[in-house]
Chain A
Amino acid sequence: MFRVFVYSLFFTFISLIVFNQIVSHEIKNKSRDLNGINFSIRSEERKESLLKTDWVVRTSPARLMELAEKHRVLLKLVPARGEDIKFIKLKEENN
């Protein structure tokens, strides 16, 4: 009876060890995936901040002015006038 008990304990322990190994392996895999995802998030955020900065540099007043000067004739651009603002305001009031 005692021996049966010892053997059953032994088998339980072995199976538990196997179970632990499987679980820890799974955890390792998942954490590696998570690290990878975190890393890609970080690199995407870095890229995003760079793109944002790039966009701001590209839409800076000095550059826009340069572009406006370049295409002034073609696009019939004129500086904003006070009259224009008034016109828009009146339109808003009517709505």
Chain B
Amino acid sequence: MGRIFKNKLRKAKVIAGDDLVHLFAPEKIDLDNDLLNTNILQVSRERVHLAKFFFIFIFAIFIIRSTTLAIFPGEVLSEPRKVVSKTIRNPLPEIFDRNDKLLATTVKTKRASIRNPVNPEETARLIKAVLPSWDEGRLIKKLQKRSYVELADNISDIEYYDILNSGVAEVEFHPVWRRIYTNQELASHIIGYSGRDLVGLSGIEKTITKSELLQEDIKLSIDITVQFHLESEIQKGIELYNADSGFGIIIDAKSGEIIASASLPTFDPNRISQNYSKDKIKESTFNQVMQGSYELGSVMKIMTLAMALEEDEIKLDDVFDDTVCIKISKNRCLNNYRNQSAETLITPVDCLVKSSNRCMAQIAQIVGRSKQQSFLQEVGLLDEYFLEIHETGIPILPKKWSDNSMITISFGQGLSVVPLSFASGVASIVNGGYMIQPTLYRQTKNDLRGRSIISEDVSEKIRYAMRQVVIKGSGSKANVPGYAVIGKTGTADIPCNGSYGGCGNRTAFVGAFPGWDPQYILLVSFERPKTNIKEGVNGNSSYWNAGPAAGAIIKLTAPLLSVEYDKAREIEYPSSTKHIKQFSRENL
């Protein structure tokens, strides 16, 4: 075996150029030629060796390098690609309510489309079988006209497999993101909506897009359950009183968080960009609470009374003459609302309870118009306000703050205010007199009261007066036992053609609960409510609609907001000085 192997090895030991020896070196040795020949052989052999070494060297480099790479891949590959986190990341953040309930999210779905069908009729027939919402004739027309037809957005997995199995070869699938608003109509004015390309078009969605808040999830101050009760009660109210529209808002009196805000009619953000007509979009996306600006009527009397008490111009025991004639034009005296019968002498609390226009006009006259203006400015009713969404409104001020406008503003006409700023103004008055800043984001602190506007004494007096309105005045239908609800109703004629009267009215109720230490402010308002004698609604003033609606809302939402319940507790008459002034015709 060894021999054979050796022979073979010897046989194999043929060096390049060996065969050439026989050619170039004959048996006879020619000295001259031999020298030349051996030189040529030598040179060629060396060249072959050189080439061999060269190839071995290159080969060695490749092999060694690839081996080291195979063993230590970390040297060249810096980091393995992180596929998961990048692609799963939502293009828009999720929105949560204050109890971490999901309000808006983004899910990945598929879009099915057809490109260049060979046989449109056959394709349409097959597609109709799996997507029954398509009209076959229309689909055929579309397929014949265009080379690319979108079949359906957001198809489900079942539909996806159905389409795959249908036998249509030209169908294509593209992954698409879809924004889902889990609560449909609820809080849609605040959350807003986004178009098909995930660009926010209103509400918080617009804020997200504009300020590029794409990283962190958003926590709103909204409580979706309270929002549901607020919206459903106002919807019930609109149906019961046959009103044109209505709105309501609940804000935290100490932190300024907006707990719920309803503006009806409303819209479904899931469907608005596809199914709504332009007019309907314009009508339903208008946020009355934050964009609107209305004359809210007698609820403004709270401001007038607070201002007079704060300026120390009147005291709770003072007495006013309700029959005095306050001239608003040459031969016209100011009437009380719907010419209610006037009593001769009433205290400021009774002025609020009876909602006397004349009495409030007198108080405003005592305080003066510059102080009135600066007070309303301080409360925040005359300025634009800041909120986290782009849909904000501005108040409409009288062109000239004359004596007449001073009188009308004292009982709530001639000055249109944004409901949200009015609610926060009332909150600032009843919460002990500290300014609050309304916000839509959840705050970490419970108490965010700012600088003091009015003293705590005055705040207490206002609370007492507002409690009397609910006990024996026009707000009695808003009373909910156990919460000592405080509040004030307001009914204002809606101006039309430059004058008041004949165009229906706007009713409002502003309240707070619990009365002894208000935690939440509620503002409810209806536009043009009507009487409904069948259901026991015998009038169209706020006593008949805004009051009971507010009562129902408080009854439902106060337990949800875990408001302190105390049936025995009542608001005491605040102690006051004993010097009683009597304002009569002579004083004015």
22 A-B interface contacts by CB (under 8 A): A13-B60, A16-B63, A16-B64, A16-B67, A19-B67, A19-B70, A23-B70, A27-B70, A45-B84, A46-B107, A49-B108, A50-B107, A52-B105, A53-B182, A56-B102, A60-B186, A80-B559, A82-B482, A82-B565, A83-B482, A84-B559, A85-B563
Which residue numbers of B lie inside 8 Å of A, CB to CB? 52, 56, 59-60, 63-64, 66-67, 70-71, 73, 83-84, 87-88, 101-102, 105, 107-108, 180, 182-184, 186, 224-225, 227-229, 232, 480, 482-483, 555-556, 558-560, 562-563, 565-566
Instruction: Tell me whether B559 and A85 are in contact (CB under 8 A).
Output: yes
Q: Which residue of A41, A53, A84, A85 is within 8 Å of B102 (Cβ)?
A: A53
Instruction: Tell me whether B88 and A65 are in contact (CB under 8 A).
Output: no
Instruction: Tell me whether B182 and A57 are in contact (CB under 8 A).
Output: yes
List residues of A (59-95) whose CB comes within 8 Å of B's CBs: 60-62, 65, 79-86
Within the complex, what minimum Cβ distance (angstroms) separates A12 from chain B? Answer: 8
Instruction: Tell me whether A41 and B184 are in contact (CB under 8 A).
Output: no
A35 to B108, CA, bound (A): 19
Instruction: Tell me whether B565 and A62 are in contact (CB under 8 A).
Output: no
Contacts of B83 in A (CB 8 A): 35, 38, 42
A35 to B66, CA, bound (A): 24
Q: Which residue of A9, A27, A53, A81 is within 8 Å of B107 (Cβ)?
A: A53
Instruction: Tell me whether A61 and B67 are in contact (CB under 8 A).
Output: no
Q: What is the predominant secondary structure among interface residues of chain A facing chain B?
A: helix
A61 to B558, CA, bound (A): 16
A24 adjacent to chain B (CB < 8 Å): yes
A29 to B183, CA, bound (A): 46
Instruction: Tell me whether B562 and A62 are in contact (CB under 8 A).
Output: no
Instruction: Tell me whether A60 and B182 are in contact (CB under 8 A).
Output: yes
A60 to B70, CA, bound (A): 55
A6 adjacent to chain B (CB < 8 Å): yes
Tally of contact residues, A, Cβ under 8 A? 34
A81 to B555, CA, bound (A): 8
Within the complex, what minimum Cβ distance (angstroms) separates A33 from chain B? Answer: 13
Contacts of B562 in A (CB 8 A): 85
Contacts of A65 in B (CB 8 A): 228, 232
Q: Which residue of B101, B105, B228 is within 8 Å of A62 (Cβ)?
A: B228
A17 to B66, CA, bound (A): 9
Within the complex, what minimum Cβ distance (angstroms) separates A50 from chain B? Answer: 6
Q: A20-B67, A49-B105, A52-B102 are in contact. Are A42 and B87 (CB under 8 A)?
A: yes
Contacts of A19 in B (CB 8 A): 67, 70
Contacts of B87 in A (CB 8 A): 42
A16 to B68, CA, bound (A): 10
Within the complex, what minimum Cβ distance (angstroms) separates B86 from chain A? Answer: 10
Within the complex, what minimum Cβ distance (angstroms) separates B497 from chain A? Answer: 41
Instruction: Tell me whether B107 and A62 are in contact (CB under 8 A).
Output: no
Within the complex, what minimum Cβ distance (angstroms) separates B57 from chain A? Answer: 10
Contacts of A16 in B (CB 8 A): 63-64, 66-67
Across chains A and B, which 6 residue pairs bring their CB atoms closest together, nearest first? A82-B565, A61-B228, A80-B559, A23-B70, A56-B182, A56-B102
B71's nearest neighbour on chain A, judged by CB, is A23
Instruction: Tell me whether A41 and B84 are in contact (CB under 8 A).
Output: yes
Instruction: Tell me whether B182 and A13 are in contact (CB under 8 A).
Output: no
